[in-house]
Amino acid sequence: LAKTTQPISMDSYEGQEVNITCSHNNIATNDYITWYQQFPSQGPRFIIQGYKTKVTNEVASLFIPADRKSSTLSLPRVSLSDTAVYYCLVGDMDNYGQNFVFGPGTRLSVLP
Amino acid sequence: GAGVSQTPSNKVTEKGKYVELRCDPISGHTALYWYRQSLGQGPEFLIYFQGTGAADDSGLPNDRFFAVRPEGSVSTLKIQRTERGDSAVYLCASSPGTSPQNEQFFGPGTRLTVL
């Protein structure tokens, strides 16, 4: 049973806000929600992490509803350089290998 | 400061050969992770170390794969009797600790090609 489900791909235009939603219906009490970004030929890069409510940093915002069964990564005013694959992970360090599954991610294409 | 480095960046070998892939984590990071990534897929967990010991090796696909971290810093992923299906990018990551709040810092990867 997959821990997370997210769209395979999304298209956007420069300057728009992009929201990528991840479903994690079976999230456990101790699980955190983490998002990574990956450019071609590079390793993934941490974007943001949260447990509940809203988290914001200089790059993105993460919205988590009260039931924590989903989360939404929000990228404000995207640019061409935001074209990448975005991964949503949920888990804690118990049984790490079973929990921290990257999945295929969401391929975001930002168009001019 | 220096990030995670991996050597070699590319490795081409023949089926049946033995290969070693090296990872130099960020200094002071206690946790080290190995993943492999096939084209179009997300990274697949292989093993992680807390210090010198393997805390979780449940992702190693079979006994041809082995990893060590003898001094709690540099790690080597070893693959015996390589097969064409082992071709992938092997990623290493490190983090200050192993709590979920510790973000992982990834290296650029080693692209392994088995002919």
Q: How far apart (Å, rounded) are the C-alpha atoms in residues A58 and A89?
A: 20
* Of the partner residues A44, A46, A95, the one whose CB lies closest to the CB of residue B43: A44
**Structural domain of B14:** 5-114
- pLDDT for position A79: 96
Q: CA of B64: how far to CAs of A60, B18, B20, B35, B86, in Å?
A: 41, 9, 12, 15, 10
* Of the partner residues A34, A85, A93, the one whose CB lies closest to the CB of residue B98: A93
CA distance B56 to chain A (A): 7
Domain total in chain B: 1
Look at residue A62 and tell me if it is in a domain: yes
Nearest in space to A32 (alpha carbons), one of A8, A15, A49: A49
Read off the CATH number of the domain in which A73 is found.
2.60.40.10
| Cβ contacts of A34 on chain B, cutoff 8 Å | 100, 103
- pLDDT for position B97: 77
- pLDDT for position B100: 63
- Does the pLDDT of residue B104 top 80, yes or no? yes
pLDDT tens figures, B8-51: 999 999 999 999 999 999 999 999 999 999 998 999 999 989 99
Type of residue numbered A47: I
* Of the partner residues B56, B101, B103, the one whose CB lies closest to the CB of residue A97: B56
- pLDDT for position A102: 83
Band of the pLDDT at B98, cuts 50, 70, 90?
low
Look at residue A94 and tell me if it is in a domain: yes
Kindly identify which residue of chain A lies nearest to residue B103, measuring between CA atoms.
A46
Q: Which residues of chain A have pLDDT under 70?
A: 1-2, 93-99
- pLDDT for position A91: 79
pLDDT tens figures, B50-93: 999 988 898 999 999 999 999 999 999 999 999 999 999 999 99
Read off the CATH number of the domain in which B33 is found.
2.60.40.10
Look at residue A104 and tell me if it is in a domain: yes
Interface contact B109-A43, CB threshold 8 A: yes
Longest Cα–Cα distance in chain A? 43
Look at residue A2 and tell me if it is in a domain: no
- pLDDT for position B101: 67
> What is the mean pLDDT of the segment spanning B93-102?
78
Look at residue A3 and tell me if it is in a domain: no
Look at residue A66 and tell me if it is in a domain: yes
Residues of A with CB under 8 A from a CB of B: 31-32, 34, 41-46, 49, 85, 87, 91-93, 95-98, 100-105
Q: Could you identify the residue written with the tokens 């070693």?
A: B20
Look at residue A69 and tell me if it is in a domain: yes
**Structural domain of A91:** 9-111
Look at residue A1 and tell me if it is in a domain: no
Domain total in chain A: 1
- A and B: number of Cβ contacts within 8 A: 64
